[in-house]
Amino acid sequence: MAAEGVAREFEFDCRPESDQSFGNALAKARSGDRLTVDDAIELLTTGSDHEGIDHARKERVLEAADRRRAAVVGDEVTFVANLNNNVTTACDTGCLFCNFKDPAAAFESDSPGESPGFTKTPNESRRIVERALNRGIYEVTSVSGLHPALALDDEHRAILASLDDPPEYRPPEVYATDPGTYVDQISAMSVGGVHVHSMTPEEAAHARRGTEWSYREVYDRLANAGLDTVPGTAAEILVEEVREVICPTKIDTQGWITAMEAAAAAGLSTTATIMYGHVENEAHRARHLKRVRDLQDRTGAITEFVPLKFVHENTPLYERGLVDGGPDPVEDELLIAVSRLFLDNVDHIQSSWVKYGDERGLKLLSCGADDFMGTILSEEITKRAGGSFGEARSIGEYVEMIDAIGRRPVERSTDYTERRRVDPDDPPHGPQLGPRADGTPLIER
Ligand SMILES: C[S@@+](CC[C@H](N)C(=O)[O-])C[C@H]1O[C@@H](n2cnc3c(N)ncnc32)[C@H](O)[C@@H]1O
Ligand SMILES: Nc1c(NC[C@H](O)[C@H](O)[C@H](O)CO)[nH]c(=O)[nH]c1=O
Ligand SMILES: N[C@@H](Cc1ccc(O)cc1)C(=O)O
Ligand code: SF4
């Protein structure tokens, strides 16, 4: 384990410096002017002309963001009744911030011992979604490792099998469990009117490897199979010098943007994320926000922005001493606030109780965030990285927490087009927007 204070310093080209002043940046933020990257650097650092955070200035940034949130979306706090159903943990991509993955070799039929993670067949996925639908959920989120046997569809499988040296491909027969194709999994999960939120840009890249297919072709076929919206993870930090350190074999910034544009062109709306608090600095965060805002100017397809705090405990970045922890709470607050102020074209900013816990997650709802994520019912990414805030929230817990901070609890659909205000004084509380939801509580405690 890395001891405190021994984290390696990186010689990045991009430094948190600017020609702007904190005062000017704050004035622009308050009056609703579109912010520049330099403005964002000033706000994220509370002034790049001095070391450390100025707490009085920080409060001014948070206050401006909270006001902006109130002006854009009012006092509603939304949440979704959803299920996470990740298909497989097999992944050889080797991102240094990730402990969700297991080496694919551990899943081969002749591998000794039990494999540490899981791979589900399409039938298993269907049964899991069916059961959750009966409990009232209406969204399934599915993000997975890049299993070497996963191909887009049968045609893609045949192409990969015919290549002399196929990229990251091994036939399903090699493995103890066949995950089927992406199209098999999506159509299996697309049952009973559930909304399928799946196929990140990284997964879409895996679904076209070894072919000349465009991302548009891939997302068109997936949409035909029942895909509804796309999670904008795999964004991490959209600056090459950071990706080279934390995820050197992942798609690059341009690849991520191309995939997101293709999803939008295929008629799918998306979320967008940032995974922050590892080796990057405030100038990288600011540039990332600019790339997301530019993308949204072109597509208008991003329904929400999701800041993901880096959870460090069990990750190679931490174990190898490249970082000595994740972001501190002040950085979380400023990141949420500046996301709200900078992304003037994205309506919703999510606070993740999985990453921050309830107490900090609620605080972030007063720093610019207005969405409190989903019930999820199962969680593996953060848990495996060392997070400990649990795997589910009930509608009752949502209502109680949101009411306690004086805001209005609202159940929403994935794309926010359907919304239902929940009356805190009329329990019991259960989901009502799902195709089989009848208001029965999702989780009995
Ligand atoms: C685990 S991957 C699964 C989907 C797919 N393999 C991909 O990379 O897009 C989904 C996302 O989880 C997030 N993630 C992984 N490990 C994390 C960690 N230790 N802390 C915070 N977020 C993490 C990353 O943002 C990553 O893009
Ligand atoms: N922030 C996290 C999420 N957010 C996704 C939501 O649950 C939901 O799918 C989305 O808002 C679309 O409606 N999911 C996680 O599993 N972990 C997070 O940290
Ligand atoms: N699965 C991601 C979170 C996520 C999922 C879907 C989204 O649309 C956005 C974010 C994580 O836990 O880190
Ligand atoms: S972040 Fe995704 S691609 Fe990277 S190692 Fe983890 S599961 Fe694999």
| Average pLDDT per 10 consecutive residues for the chain, totaling 445 residues | 60 96 98 98 97 97 98 98 98 98 96 89 98 97 98 98 96 97 98 98 98 98 98 98 98 98 98 98 98 99 98 98 97 99 99 98 99 98 97 98 98 98 97 94 77
Ligand index nearest the alpha carbon of residue 90:
4
For residues 130 and 75, membership in a common domain is answered with yes
State the complex-level ipTM: 0.99
This prediction's pTM: 0.98
Q: CA separation (Å) from 328 to 97, 224, 333?
A: 17, 43, 9
Give the chain's radius of gyration (CA, Å): 21
Statement to judge: residues 51 and 135 lie in one domain: no
Q: Which domain holds residue 322?
A: 71-99+123-145+192-421
Q: What is the pLDDT of residue 271?
A: 99
Whether residue 346 is contained in a domain is answered as yes
Report in angstroms the alpha-carbon separations of 288 from 237, 239, 250, 255, 276.
6, 7, 16, 14, 10
CA pair distance 7, 290, nearest whole angstrom: 28
Rounded CA separation 68/316 (Å): 38
Do residues 92 and 445 touch, judged by C-beta distance below 8 A? no
Residues 58 and 202 in one domain: no
At residue 133, the 3 state secondary structure works out as helix
Q: E-assigned strands of 216-362? A: 229-230, 269-276, 302-309, 348-349
Sheet with 76-80, edge to edge strand ranges? 371-374, 76-80, 408-412, 419-421
* Ligand in nearest proximity to the CA of 87: 1
In angstroms, the CA 370 to CA 377 distance is: 21
Mutate to test the pocket of ligand 3, among 196, 197, 308, 379 (most ligand atoms within 8 A of CB): 308
Determine whether the shortest distance from the Cβ of 95 to ligand 4 is under 6 A: yes
Q: For residue 432, is it within any domain?
A: no
* CA-to-CA separations, 119 to 4, 206, 245, 442, in angstroms, rounded: 37, 17, 28, 26
Assess whether 269 and 354 both reside in one domain. Answer: yes
The count of structural domains within the chain is 2
For residue 1, what pLDDT is reported?
38
- Omega prior to 428 cis, within 30 of 0: yes
Runs of H (alpha helix) within 207-352:
215-225, 240-246, 253-265, 282-299, 316-319, 329-342
From 85, 97, 138, 141, the mutation candidate for ligand 2 (largest count of ligand atoms within 8 A of CB) is 141
Q: Could you tell me if 49 and 85 lie in one domain?
A: no
Q: How far apart are CA 195 and CA 302, in angstroms?
A: 16
- What is the structure's pLDDT at 444? 65
- For residue 327 and ligand 1, the question of a CB distance below 6 A is answered with no
Are 79 and 227 in the same domain? yes
Index of the ligand 3 atom closest to the CA of residue 381: 12
Asked whether residue 373 falls in the same domain as residue 297, the answer is yes
Asked if residue 402 lies in contact with residue 408, where contact means CB atoms within 8 angstroms, the answer is: yes
pLDDT at 6: 61
Distances in whole angstroms, Cα of residue 204 to Cα of each of 87, 145, 231: 15, 12, 11
Q: List beta partners, residue 307.
A: 274
Whether residue 440 lies inside any domain: the answer is no
Residues 32 and 93 in one domain: no
